[in-house]
């Protein structure tokens, strides 16, 4: 949410040496159009399958999703397990917003509708990257989030916020019954994603794993821990390679 596929830039070169990559922007983000109505995560999962069909990708994919992308991946793996070989989630809280968080988010959505992205960008950057931006990687993360937030379809983002932030469902029971091999990663200092809860959920899954990463927000690990994150994904994929491949 708020950012587009450009935030995956630190991972693309290395992951692209091992897989063909298809980067998808959510509705209203990047160059993806967004509907002017309420929609659900399940609608996003159906759209993801339509994309796979449109690309004629018949073999199972290794899904990697950050935050919202991870939420969609959970439902893709649940509804179409034959289309998803593995699921990797980064900064994806599986629980809904608390009442207090929902009130704050509703205010943010209302302000965004009136003010647009420019006035709210510093707030979003701090939420997704963290308030401390002392290193080159943290500064790069802040710049990427700022640019992504200002890009895209303003109305599309507004409806994405209303649809998927305020109405984020509880996906913990879905994850616990997940049969697709799943790697959950979370920033150690991400205030919007409880790393201990992610580790607990991973321990309940029959084929789940968890890894904590440096970072103070949903997007920060993609920049401040890009090498560690990438290697974790590659190691995860490697453990599931059939013999002889």
Encode pLDDT of 119-166 as tens digits: 999 999 999 998 888 899 999 999 999 999 999 899 999 999 999 999
Which of 142, 13, 132, 11 shows the shortest CA–CA distance to 69? 11
Measured between alpha carbons, how far is 127 from 132 in angstroms, rounded to an integer? 11
pTM assigned to the model: 0.94
What lies within 8 Å, CB to CB, of 244 at 6+ separation is: none
Which pLDDT score is estimated for 131? 84
What mean pLDDT do residues 211-239 have?
Answer: 95
% the chain with pLDDT above 90:
89
Which pLDDT score is estimated for 165? 92
Which pLDDT score is estimated for 108? 93
Measured between alpha carbons, how far is 7 from 15 in angstroms, rounded to an integer? 14
For residue 19, pLDDT beyond 60: yes
What mean pLDDT do residues 3-16 have?
Answer: 96
What mean pLDDT do residues 218-237 have?
Answer: 96
């Amino acid at each position: 949410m708020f950012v587009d596929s450009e935030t995956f830039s630190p991972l693309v070169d290395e992951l692209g040496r091992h897989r063909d990559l298809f980067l998808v922007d959510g509705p209203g983000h990047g160059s993806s159009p967004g509907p002017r109505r309420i929609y659900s995560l399940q609608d996003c999962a159906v759209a993801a399958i339509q994309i796979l069909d449109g690309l004629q990708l018949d073999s199972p994919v290794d899904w990697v999703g950050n935050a919202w992308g991870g939420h969609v991946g959970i439902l893709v793996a649940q509804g179409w397990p034959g289309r998803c070989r593995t699921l990797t989630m980064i900064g994806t809280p599986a629980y809904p917003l608390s009442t207090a968080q929902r009130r704050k988010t509703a205010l943010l959505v209302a302000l965004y509708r009136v003010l647009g992205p420019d006035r709210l960008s510093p707030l979003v950057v701090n939420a997704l990257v963290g308030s401390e931006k002392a290193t080159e990687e943290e500064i790069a993360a802040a710049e990427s989030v700022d640019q992504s937030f200002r890009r895209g379809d303003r109305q599309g983002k507004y409806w994405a916020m209303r649809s998927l932030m305020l109405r984020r469902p509880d996906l913990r029971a879905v994850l616990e019954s997940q049969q697709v091999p799943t790697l959950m990663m979370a920033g150690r200092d991400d205030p919007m994603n409880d790393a201990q809860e992610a580790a607990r959920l991973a321990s309940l899954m029959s084929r789940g794993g968890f890894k904590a990463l440096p970072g103070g927000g949903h997007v920060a690990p993609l920049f401040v821990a890009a090498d560690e994150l990438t290697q974790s994904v590659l190691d995860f994929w490697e453990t599931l390679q059939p013999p002889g491949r």
